[in-house]
Amino acid sequence: MPVTRKLPAIVAGVLAIALAGCGKADPTFDQRVHDYILAHPEVIQEAIDKLQQKQQAEADAQTRKAIAQNRQAIEHDPRDFVANPNGKITVTEFYDYRCPHCVNAAPAVVGLIKDNPDVRFVFKEFPIFGATSERAAEGAIALARAHGDYVGLYRDFMAARPLDDAAIDRILAAHGVTAAMLQDQGLARDATAQLADVRKLAIGLGIEGTPAFIIGDTLVPGEDMDAVRAAIQAQRGHS
């Protein structure tokens, strides 16, 4: 937000605080505040920084509370595929196969699962890029039901350029997902419910895009895999 928009609110706040303890307003106070700010403009940035820090701290506290309230749905929804199910540290990813940031993070995700058997990795299908993304997610859910190679499918979907309907059908067929499986009415109904529940959960957690990772009480938005690894290491220190 531009500094010029913040200035009136900051000056008003200073005035309100200063006058709150006075029985009578000093008619020269406005001018003295004005002159001080002009002489020391750095205080505006300091005030903005302080406000942003406070707002971030409040947002982080809200996120931690939301994660705690939804821990079961985040980490233990039996409909989600889980890699390394016996791992002691849980990482949950919300993702869309057609999200470029998810695509960028995917090789690191696959490597993380392979190299860290103590990391229990929960996959949350969260298609936000339209019908084609939903088609891919429904195919992945069908594969999970058939106990297929879910991580392999995740890898292949993320690597496809472009991931269009034809590529989805080709990759699903290579992983043993048939047209009959996809046309099953029960599966379609269950997949729709599952994706709706994930969307509702993401909204409740304040997740605004993909990918998003949850490790313990930490939400890591975007493809910041260094932050994901740091959060995992922090969890190892707590265990």
Tell me the average pLDDT across 25-42.
Answer: 79
Distance from C-alpha of 222 to C-alpha of 43, rounded to nearest angstrom: 32
Least trusted range by pLDDT, from 21-25, 143-147, 181-185: 21-25
pTM of the model: 0.79
Higher-confidence position of 16 and 101: 101
Tell me the average pLDDT across 182-199.
Answer: 95
Tell me the average pLDDT across 38-48.
Answer: 82
Q: Would you say 128 and 195 are in contact if contact means Cβ atoms under 8 Å apart? A: no
Would you state the pLDDT for residue 225? 98
Domain with CATH 3.40.30.10 in the chain: 72-238
Distance from C-alpha of 31 to C-alpha of 194, rounded to nearest angstrom: 61
What's the whole-number average pLDDT of the chain?
A: 89
**Would the pLDDT of 86 be above 80?**
yes
Tell me the average pLDDT across 104-119.
Answer: 98
φ/ψ (deg, to 5) at 137: -65, -40
Which of 110, 112, 114, 136 minimizes the C-alpha distance to 125?
136
Distance from C-alpha of 101 to C-alpha of 97, rounded to nearest angstrom: 9
For residue 15, name the pLDDT band (cuts at 50, 70, 90): very low
Tell me the average pLDDT across 181-191.
Answer: 93
For residue 48, name the pLDDT band (cuts at 50, 70, 90): confident
Would you state the pLDDT for residue 54? 78
**Would the pLDDT of 206 be above 60?**
yes
Tell me the average pLDDT across 145-158.
Answer: 97
Superfamily of structural domain 72-238: Glutaredoxin (3.40.30.10)
